[in-house]
């Protein structure tokens, strides 16, 4: 992959991707991290790609301006947790403690982000394990192991060996959205595709999945714009 820079105020970096399958130029913006990607057929040169970008500059900048700004997890700020804002406050504690609707952290500002992330990852593992257990029992199929990552291209996956992977940032979404993703991945234990048979299993495990998919399309990107470094 290469890069193209669209000059202006501010400059916009666009990832350049060539594809043997592409029959035309296409420009996409990730809802997860705001990254713009220009896909080119193999025979199309960079100059033509830049001309294509220039033609769509207004559309590109307009969509980027609508992206949710990044939020830094720090003392005095809030992070999403189970679909609501969770204030991060300093207190006389040795570890993160959930108390009176806030996450109380040791008064060490430089460590606040890492401690908040560690708390969220622990809660995510508990919630996703519980949901996976519940849906696997309903389906009558066991899964292998669960792992958590900070993935940006997908919210979860199921391997051919039956191992489940989830984005730990799902703990920031409303609980029913987290449950839907767990049901979706567990359904892959029955069918490793997205065929009508697969969606029939999802319907059985989680009937209201369309609303959750819509929530992720509309708001999922904002979960990835919370920084913990």
Structure tokens at 146: 């669960």
Structure tokens at 167: 């984005």
Identify whether 86 is part of a domain.
Answer: no
Tell me if 186 sits within 8 A of 136, measured CB to CB: yes
Q: What is the pLDDT of residues 152-185, one digit of tens each?
A: 778 999 999 999 999 999 999 999 999 999 999 9
Q: What is the pLDDT of residues 43-83, one digit of tens each?
A: 888 889 889 988 988 888 887 776 767 889 999 999 999 99
Identify whether 106 is part of a domain.
Answer: no
Domain boundary pick from 65, 83, 108: 65
Q: Across the chain, how many H-helices and E-strands are there?
A: 6, 13
Beta bridge partners of 145: none
Domain boundary pick from 48, 65, 82: 65
Length of the chain: 229
Percent of the chain with pLDDT over 90: 63
Torsion of CA 13, 1, 30, 74, to 10 degrees: -70
How many domains does the chain divide into?
2
* Least confident interval from 66-70, 77-81, 190-194, 216-220: 66-70
Identify whether 94 is part of a domain.
Answer: no
Mapped onto helix, strand or coil, the DSSP state of residue 13 is strand
**Confidence (pTM):** 0.74
Identify whether 205 is part of a domain.
Answer: yes
Identify whether 111 is part of a domain.
Answer: no
Q: Which residues span the domain enclosing 20?
A: 2-65
Tell me if 166 sits within 8 A of 182, measured CB to CB: yes
Return the higher-pLDDT residue of 13 and 93.
93
Residue range 73-100: average pLDDT?
Answer: 95
């Amino acid at each position: 992959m290469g890069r193209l820079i669209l000059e202006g105020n501010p400059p916009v970096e666009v990832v350049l991707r060539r594809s043997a399958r592409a029959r035309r130029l296409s420009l996409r913006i990730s809802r997860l991290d705001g990254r713009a990607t220009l896909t080119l057929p193999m025979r199309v040169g960079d100059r033509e790609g830049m001309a294509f970008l220039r033609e769509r500059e207004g559309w590109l900048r307009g969509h980027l301006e609508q992206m949710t700004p990044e939020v830094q997890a720090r003392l005095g700020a809030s992070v999403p947790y189970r679909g609501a804002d969770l204030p991060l406050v300093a207190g006389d504690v040795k570890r993160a403690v959930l108390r009176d609707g806030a996450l109380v952290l040791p008064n060490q500002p430089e460590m606040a982000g890492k401690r908040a992330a560690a708390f969220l990852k622990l809660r995510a593992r508990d919630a996703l394990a519980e949901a996976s257990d519940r849906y696997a029992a309903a389906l009558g199929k066991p899964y292998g192991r669960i792992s958590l990552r900070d993935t940006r291209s997908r919210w979860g996956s199921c391997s051919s060996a039956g191992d489940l992977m989830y984005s730990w940032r799902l703990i920031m979404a409303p609980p029913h959205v987290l449950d839907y993703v767990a049901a979706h991945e567990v359904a892959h234990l029955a069918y490793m595709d997205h065929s009508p048979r697969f969606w029939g299993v999802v319907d059985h495990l989680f009937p209201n999945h369309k609303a959750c998919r819509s929530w992720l399309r509309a708001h999922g990107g904002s979960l990835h714009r919370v920084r913990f470094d």
